Amino acid sequence: MIIVTHNYKEVKQVLNANLKPVAINFKSQNNITACVIALAEKFKNELIVWCHEDLINSLQVEKLSDIFHHQYVLATFNTDDSYYSSDKIEYLERSICLKFGKANTYGTYLMSSQVGAMHAQTILKLQQALNKNKSFTYNLNSIAKNYQIEGLYCYSEPKLLHPNYKLVEEVKISNSELFCFVREHYKWVWSWILLLNLIVFERKIPLIAFLRSCFIKQKEILKSFNTTKINSQKADQLHKHIDVVIPTIGRKSYLLNVLEDLKQQTILPKQVIIVEQNGDRNQSSELDYLSNQEWPFKITHKFTHTLGVCNARNSALQHLEHEWVFFADDDIRFSASLFEDTFEKITDTGSQAINYSCLQPNQKQNYNKTGQTFIFGSGSSFVKASIAKQINFDTAFEFGFGEDTDYGAKIRQLGYDITFAPELHLTHLKAPIGGFRQPIPKLWNNSTIQPKPSPTMLVLFYKHFTTKQIKGYKLFLFIKMYGKNNPLLIFRNLKKFRKSWDKSVFYAKQLSQTINA
């Protein structure tokens, strides 16, 4: 382990794990980025740590081996309430990766130079992506933004410091750097959208910074971390005991196929929890094969006249008995080695939540990269039961969309990763039968002004987006809805849009008591 201390502008010391000076001349590489690269070249098998000089006595050296449990981890921590690139960049960002606290580990591309580390081999792989003419903080955010989707695991990690750390003010991105960052990491149109957001919401026109950025090209992705197998050093003993959660409604034959696939698993589940829904008060269960056939696992069957997949899954979670839970739909198919392959992936990555590839028959898979994901499939995921027991599906999303994204966000807020495993396949048959026998009435069905966007989507946004993210989405939606219309009608369209948005906020508040808009 090699530790670089700095004051944001220059390197102050190079230390070993015992916080003793290392006999090395770093003055010739006083640029922090250059020094980190030089140290990675000299100490190829070491963890390279950076730390602001005011935080060095708070560094938890003993925690580093647990945090950096495989070679593709980039973890940093910022003691300040602000972030280098997160303030104005929020207008553009649509992923759920910006609104988080300081208490738990959180997967995000928002990096800090206050304290953090990477393995030397990973730094060397990214060497061409590091610009010595940019600040070290800029470089960290740049590689996290570009390479998180390439298999680099990026975190805000409070365990880097002792809890009694002192506050150090974060460096702030300039307007020129901000527009440069947007041009390098987003499509060109987003710099125009950022400019428009700053004009509309902040009454600022950083025209010079914008114009300078127009000559900057988008950065190329130079390296993928998916070509090398990850070898996590986490020592958790895996108990391969699985509960399966399946909500179902009117899909008797499809559910039977799912049970047959479970029956063929090389690692059999211990329990299958089925919550069968039927809104007809005069009907009873149609799943006769649950009792008149032999199954190599315990079946817990719950029948309810209450409709709703959120309610059904919450009911099933009350019956978890084992270490892992497979969230399954009632119309999927999968191979006999699914669970065996899943545990191999968990061992490799150290992850405690896996999101499977779940495509329809003959649908082409376009994304094939293992890594952190903001996506959670409530019918296609595998999660540690101790995590699942802490979270419920929010019934505000019942009969709408967003409950799975919300559940995944809660997993991440607890401090756990969700890993996408593209090589682990489920086939989603999209059964034409089942579902709801009649349309579920919405609160806004008879409203003269129809809400835009969907109120359930606004519930999701207000729960997990920052204020600037919501503003940025609102402006983007307006452009998307009315951008091709006659510009002379802009004020009429704006009035119409505001009414639709306000109506969506109104019904979002009806759905969820957590909304403060």
Decide: 304 and 275 in contact? Cβ < 8 Å. yes
Q: Is 214 exposed, middle or buried (0-12, 13-18, 19+ CB in 10 A)?
A: exposed
- Pairing, β 47-52 against β 115-119: antiparallel
Q: How far, in Å, are 165, 223, 426 from residue 245 at the CA level? A: 42, 38, 15
- The token duo for 384 is 């540690």
- The token duo for 471 is 């503003």
Q: What is the pLDDT along the chain (517 residues), one digit of tens a residue?
A: 999 999 999 999 999 999 999 888 766 667 999 999 999 999 999 999 999 999 999 999 999 999 999 999 999 999 998 888 778 999 999 988 888 989 999 999 999 999 999 999 999 999 999 999 999 999 999 999 999 999 999 999 999 999 999 999 999 999 999 999 999 999 999 999 999 999 999 999 999 999 999 999 999 998 888 766 788 887 566 889 999 999 999 899 999 999 999 999 999 999 999 999 998 888 899 999 999 999 999 999 999 999 999 999 999 999 999 999 999 999 999 999 999 999 999 999 999 999 999 999 989 988 888 999 989 999 999 999 999 999 999 999 998 889 999 999 999 999 999 999 999 999 999 887 655 455 678 888 889 999 999 999 999 999 999 999 999 999 999 999 888 778 788 889 999 999 999 999 999 999 987 777 6
Q: Give the contacts of 343 (CB within 8 A, at least 6 positions apart).
A: 238, 240, 267
DSSP-derived letter for residue 4 is E
Whole-model pTM: value is 0.92
Quick count: other Cβ atoms within 10 Å of Cβ 275?
Answer: 25
